[in-house]
Amino acid sequence: MFTAKDELLKGVLNEIDDDELQLPDFQRSWVWENSRIVGLLASLTLGYPIGTIMLLKSGEQYKFKCRSIKGDKDLEKKPLRMLLDGQQRMTSCFLALKNKDAVKTKTSTGKAIKRYYYISIEKALKTTIDREDAIVSVDENKQQTTDMGRKVLLDLSTEELEFKEKMVPLNLCSDFNEINHWRSKYQKYYKFDPKISEEYQEFDEKVIQTILNYKIPVIELENTTPKEAVCQVFEKVNQGGVPLTVFELLTATYASDNYDLRKDWEVIQEGSEKDTEFGKARVGFKDIPNLKDVDKNSFLIAVTLYHSYLNDEVISCKRKDILNLKLEDYKKCRENVLDGYERANKFLIGQKIFSSDYIPYGNQMAPLVVICALQKDFNNETIKNKIAKWYWCGVLGELYGSSTESRIANDVPQVIKWIKESGEEPKTITDCSFNTLRLFGLQTKSSAAYKGLMALILKEHCKDFIDGETMDVTVYLDENSDIHHVFPQEYCKNKGYDKRYWNSIVNKTPLFSSTNRFIGGVAPSEYIKTIIKKKKIAENTLDINLSSHMLNPVYLKNDNFDDFITDRATKLLNLIEKATGKKIADRGSEEVKKEFNKEL
């Protein structure tokens, strides 16, 4: 699968110069700043290790679109090898040691600059001087200046000035003939002074020969290496950079057939008013609240699931399956999967999930999308009810929390078969269970079941306390709604109530932000009186609004916290059973009786 060996750095740089070694298109741009280049050159000239690089042989399945490490445009030559890891180091080495133009880099603050790099003969030979201090970078005019460029501190703009300052251009040092030619003129400038020649000879032995004979460890992957292995290896060795994703690898693969997957994804995200080369006009994901956080790798998972189901293959969405997705198959599935996303969004809105912030499990989206894509008769209530039962069992059973690849793969065929044949229920439904006391563990939006229960409360057509508007999608988003305490947090703290109760979902409900500000931190009995008085709301109307949230107005008016908690917990359990179609087995257990002093 791979070989490991040392190669001469100058040979690698020659390959870059001849475009035999190139960058696959998924690699990011070169970004190193001036100080890091100086540090790298210091290590090289001392013969210190600068790390291993990883290369991939071209050919076979690896016919990626590539680009020159030199930065050349319109490159047509096919590479012999591709640089997987070590881009920053090798680009810096090439530009500083072989390229004859000023290196486009940046300062530590990000300001764009151009630099040439030199090494001082005298400083390099003094062991008391740090090697980085012997490396000098000058601007594109080969000068160091101060006072906004008005005062020149160092001028190397001609060879004679280089000789005078005893500064060797590092961009000659990786080529034996070029540096020897410079050496001849240098010695001639000093009229072949024996001391100068002796000094340079020592410099040549300690620095120039170190560069010319420098070897770098190279791991070379064969072009028969599985793509998923390339992804994984890249991920392990490139931890300091951006991980190589399946999307990036497919982008490079498809680019060899002149298909721009990255541009396609931009169209999916941004949307288009007219049909494009990629597909029909659609609203972009970024403008759909439930889809704005869908990422490109999740989209590829959905496409892969859809394709494998249609082709009667073993349903799977592992990295290797996505990487084996052929361009022709991607093109065939793309539009139908996007239809699936549109239907999934409508389904989520119907379940009163209005924004990606409140989607319980992001990784449950892929099977939901594929199931929706495969159901052409999506308006059929029986079908939608079955999808909803499966969905809520996944959410409230908290089954999509981790290690979900096998569940995702199983859910698609099992749900579709259940819908078509009305036979055995999917495993996600049979696996679902809910523990009553789990209610008190649902404290924040980080929990899928927490988000799910809030959606179920909205699904019961709950109304805002004050204006009585049903909290549907447009109103919910327009009013900047969120989840808030019923017995206010400050009030509960002052009363010394157990945080496990008052901060749990049992004591929370969705409200307009304006209503929550009106409630403040006082007892429910007080804010109810204030609402009735200041907002001129009839008491029975407010009771209806409160009850729509499954809140008992009597307990709130009497500030009866204990009975409120028991009553609301009971109603939430009923809601869970309604959504999942499954009984909660421990509602009458001794543990529950001890907690609530009664069965729920």
Same domain, 453 and 530: yes
* Residue of higher predicted confidence among 74 and 576: 576
Taking CA atoms, 573 is separated from 365, 441, 442, 511, 588, in Å, by 25, 14, 13, 21, 12
Q: What's the pLDDT tens digit per position in 488-501? A: 999 999 999 999 99
Cα separation of 54 and 294, whole Å?
32
pLDDT value, residue 231 = 61
Range name among 62-76, 250-264, 314-328, 353-367 with the lowest pLDDT average: 62-76
| Percent of the chain at pLDDT exceeding 70 | 93
The DSSP result for 149-170, as a single string, is TTEEEEE-SSHHHHHHHTEEEG
Cα separation of 358 and 344, whole Å?
14
Cα separation of 317 and 323, whole Å?
10
Q: Which of 432, 456, 484 is the last residue of a domain?
A: 432
Cα separation of 137 and 117, whole Å?
5
Same domain, 336 and 399: yes
Tell me: pLDDT of 412 over 90: yes
Which residues make beta-bridge pairs with 22?
A: 68, 82
Same domain, 500 and 556: yes
Q: What's the pLDDT tens digit per position in 513-554? A: 888 777 888 999 999 999 999 889 999 999 999 999 999 999
Same domain, 425 and 487: no
Same domain, 250 and 157: no
Is 196 a member of any domain? yes
Same domain, 449 and 301: no
| Mean per-residue pLDDT of the chain | 89
pLDDT value, residue 235 = 54
Task: Report, as an integer, the average pLDDT of 127-131.
Answer: 92
Tell me the HSE value of 10 on the side-chain side, using a 13 A CA sphere: 16
Indicate the number of domains in the chain: 3
Secondary structure of residue 86 in the 3-state scheme? coil
**Tokens read off for 399:** 């089954």
pLDDT value, residue 522 = 93
Can you say how many angstroms the Cα of residue 537 is from the centroid of all Cα atoms in its chain? 48
| Percent of the chain at pLDDT exceeding 90 | 65
Q: Are strands 53-57 and 215-221 parallel, antiparallel or unpaired?
A: parallel
Is the CB of residue 409 less than 8 Å from the CB of residue 317?
yes
Tell me: pLDDT of 256 over 80: no
Task: Report, as an integer, the average pLDDT of 72-90.
Answer: 79
Query: Residue 415 carries which side chain, given as an amino acid letter?
Result: V
Task: Report, as an integer, the average pLDDT of 421-450.
Answer: 93
Range name among 78-87, 122-131, 241-250 with the lowest pLDDT average: 241-250
Same domain, 444 and 591: yes
Q: Identify the top-confidence range among 18-27, 135-144, 468-477.
A: 135-144
Tell me: pLDDT of 406 over 60: yes
Secondary structure of residue 352 in the 3-state scheme? coil
pLDDT value, residue 4 = 83
Same domain, 459 and 393: no
Cα separation of 131 and 134, whole Å?
5
**Tokens read off for 376:** 């052409």
pLDDT value, residue 234 = 57
Same domain, 187 and 267: no
Structural domain boundaries enclosing 403 = 245-432
Same domain, 29 and 174: yes
pLDDT value, residue 47 = 94
Same domain, 212 and 281: no
Q: What's the pLDDT tens digit per position in 220-249? A: 888 777 766 666 665 555 545 455 678 877
Q: What's the pLDDT tens digit per position in 177-227? A: 999 999 999 999 999 999 999 999 999 999 999 999 999 999 888 877 776
Q: What's the pLDDT tens digit per position in 365-388? A: 999 999 999 988 878 899 999 999
pLDDT value, residue 92 = 93
Q: Are strands 282-283 and 271-272 parallel, antiparallel or unpaired?
A: antiparallel
378-389: burial string, b at 16+ Cβ within 10 Å, e else: beeeebbebbbb
Same domain, 128 and 184: yes
| Residue matched to tokens 């000023």 | 102
Is 401 a member of any domain? yes
H-helix segments, 351-447: 365-374, 381-396, 405-421, 427-431
List Cβ neighbours of 442 (8 Å cut-off, separation of 6 or more).
449, 450, 453, 504, 505
Q: What's the pLDDT tens digit per position in 24-62? A: 876 666 678 999 999 999 999 999 999 888 888 887 766
Task: Report, as an integer, the average pLDDT of 300-323.
Answer: 86
pLDDT value, residue 239 = 47
Cα separation of 538 and 536, whole Å?
7
